Structure 1
Amino acid sequence: MSDVERLLKQAAMQIGAGGSAGFVEVCIMHPLDLVKTRFQLQSSSSALKSSDPHYYNGIVDCMKKMYKYEGLTSFWKGILPPILAETPKRAVKFATFEQYKRFFMFGSSTPTPLTFSLAGLGAGITEAILVNPFEVVKVTLQSNKSLATQVPSTWSVTRQIVRENGLGSKGLNKGLTATMARNGIFNMVYFGFYHSVKGYIPEYEDPLLEFSRKIAIGFTSGVLGSCVNIPFDVAKSRVQGPQPSPGIVKYNSTVGTINLVYREEGFRALYKGLLPKVLRLGPGGAIMLVVYDYVYNFLENKFQDKTQ
């Protein structure tokens, strides 16, 4: 097999495994992503805390109120954009991660923790550029507190955003810098920790123990990445979500939004939605990496069978 054929085979396996991992993860964990976004859009300084039926005091309170006022299907509001984006997003992330790894070897014969971290950073920034328009539509849908049956369709929301604000930094690419910072930092920690630690903890011959090993490392990777990048996630939600006063842009730049939230609402506000984010990306991170590994190995075996 030529080098070109080998590279194409590896790319196909990375795309297939990455797309499968992303699809499974988003279908299972989307409700927690929605709860996280609701908390991040909610201002701590609101004077309507007691009277607003949509003010949330915790994850359970949020889910109860969403079920009461918006219906069961509200937990999957805005799921179509990430489903449409997940296959190419995860495919791009895992495929570019492998390519960035080669670039950041710095003369070493084997990848180092720095290699994994920088490759993760590059992969996260790359995927952010691809998925940011989907994120803008998703956050717009998730911020809508009407009954799920009354929420506009994904396509009508997309058309409205393009019609009113275009494709640029005020429209479908709003909050791009925040998305790049969020995804880049998360994946730097996520991939850096997972691949570095996985190399130090020996594999088990028992399939169940090996599965548990990967789940534990993936879970820890997702939790650490979530804790590190949460301020940028809050900024992204504020920039991409509805502004407090219609017609007045309060949240604009990434750093400016972080500073504004800190001044008005305090340091803890920068960690809004952390618990649902951790509950989503801890298990979600484990699911994604484990599904990726198993699908990649399955496809690799299939390719080998065909070439024999």
Structure 2
Amino acid sequence: MDFIIGGLAGVGATIITNPMDVVKTRLQLQGELKAKTEQSTRYRGIFHALYVIARADGALALQKGLAPAMLLGFTMNSVRLGMYHVAEVQGWTKTKDGEISVNRAIFWSSASGVLSGVAANPTFVLKTRIQAVAHPSIAVGRQHSYKGMFDGIATIYRNEGMRGFFAGVSATCTRLAIGSAAQLTTFSTVKEELRSRGYWENSPTMLAFVASLFSSVLCVIFETPLDVVNTRLYNQGSGSHGAVLYTGIVDCITKIYKTEGFHGLYKGLGPLYLRIAPHTTLSLVIWDILNNMLIHKKL
């Protein structure tokens, strides 16, 4: 049940934040491996991107990749939040005195992030490629034409084999290990600190909401460079679709920094925050509410 609750929390948050994920993906692929002076700007920012995507491909294009994104939200968060909640319930994240141990919380949140990355990577790849596809006038990055989620699965398997579903998996696990450590450790620590000071003792929802706001900021700061790397690795595909641009995490970071500058590693920061902040808040609050409901039901 812990894992199902985590998955449902992820799905609920994904439906609302997917448009920002589409914008984030496009901005991260824009000007790929080109100096800033050589880049053609299709999207001039968050709101411009929302406008041109809706104008060129229709308003529904802002929900591109929603099906794999929902599957991703369920798969990733069921493993990540479910495993971390088990660790919390078992007391593995606390000291002998019952207080939050930052080191233990970091370990269990990172471990849950790595496992969730392995489990969810195929849906990450599929979601990113579908979100990247656009009208030629606003297209950025390599374009993979899939008729839908199932056609995408069949095409990737036919052209790239199982290996295609695990493109960028090392970067995914690294990002989720760091992101989960920042997100879940901060969430647990801040929530415990606020509770110990007497804040929102009778309002667990507000307590979870405030704690999630803190965790989302740290999550975005640490995750963005690796999120850019993930997007590039997911979207490049195999050598059968053209030259492979990146051979791995280090090669990708090095090439982005050399050609696009430090700014290139933080492309899509705005929409990533606008996706992660509400996604973190919604998923963690929903997760907390469902867990509290389950605890009260058991009592």
- Which TM class, normalised by the smaller chain length? 0.7 to 0.9
CA distance in structure 2 between the partners assigned to 1:295 and 1:106 by the alignment = 22
**Equivalent-residue separation in structure 1 for 2:276 and 2:292 (angstroms):** 23
1:288 and 2:277 aligned: no
Which residue pairs with 1:6 in the alignment?
Answer: none
Q: What secondary structure sits across from 1:121 in the alignment? A: helix
CA contact 1:100–1:122 (8 Å) conserved in 2: no
- Corresponding residue number in structure 2 for 1:69: 56
Residue 139 of structure 2 corresponds to none
For residues 241 and 89 of structure 1, the distance between their equivalents in structure 2, rounded to whole angstroms, comes to 19
Q: Which residue matches 1:86?
A: 73
Q: Does 1:143 align with 2:124?
A: no
1:1-308 counterparts in 2 under 5 A? 12=1, 14-43=2-31, 45=34, 47=38, 49=40, 55-100=42-87, 108-110=96-98, 111-146=100-135, 152-168=147-163, 171-202=164-195, 203-207=199-203, 210-242=204-236, 246-304=241-299
- CA-to-aligned-CA distance 1:70-108 (integer Å, 9 cap, x gap): 111001111111212322321211221134555965974
Which of 1 and 2 has greater Rg?
Answer: 1
Query: Given the superposition, is the C-alpha separation of residues 66 and 302 from structure 1 closer, same or farther in structure 2, using an over 3 Å criterion?
Result: same
Compute the TM-score of the two structures, normalised by the length of structure 1: 0.85
**C-alpha distance in 1, partners of 2:153/2:159?**
10
CA deviation digits over 1:31-55, x for unaligned, max 9?
11111111111126274616xxxx1
Change (3 A) 1:229 1:205: closer
Q: Give the ranges of 4+ consecutive aligned residues of structure 1 lying more than 6 Å apart after TM superposition.
A: none
Q: CA deviation at 1:57?
A: 1.1
Tell me how far apart the structure 1 counterparts of residues 201 and 165 of structure 2 sit (CA, whole Å). 48
- SS of the equivalent of 1:204 reads coil
Unaligned regions of 5+ residues in structure 2, if any? 137-144
Paired AA for residue 104 in structure 2:
T
SS at match of 2:162: coil
In the alignment, what sits opposite 1:4?
none
- 1:97 counterpart letter in structure 2: Y
**What is the aligned length?**
281
> Where does the alignment leave 5 or more consecutive residues of structure 1 unmatched?
1-11
The question of whether the paired residues in 2 share the 8 Å contact of 1:16 and 1:296 is answered with no
Percent identity, please: 26
Paired AA for residue 83 in structure 1: M
Cα pair 2:4 2:82 within 8 Å, conserved: no
CA contact (8 A) 1:220 1:282 kept: no
Q: Using the alignment, how far apart are the partners of 1:295 and 1:98 within structure 2? A: 12
Amino acid at match of 2:112: A
- Classify the secondary structure of the residue corresponding to 1:241: helix
Contact 1:17 1:293 in 2 (8 A): no
Deviation at 1:145, TM superposition (A): 0.4
Counterpart-to-counterpart distance in 1, 2:253 and 2:39: 23
- What is the CA distance between 1:151 and its match in structure 2? 6.0
Measured against aligned partners, the alpha-carbon deviations of 1:89-147 in whole angstroms (never above 9, x if no partner) come to: 21211221134555965974433111111111111111000000001111110110039
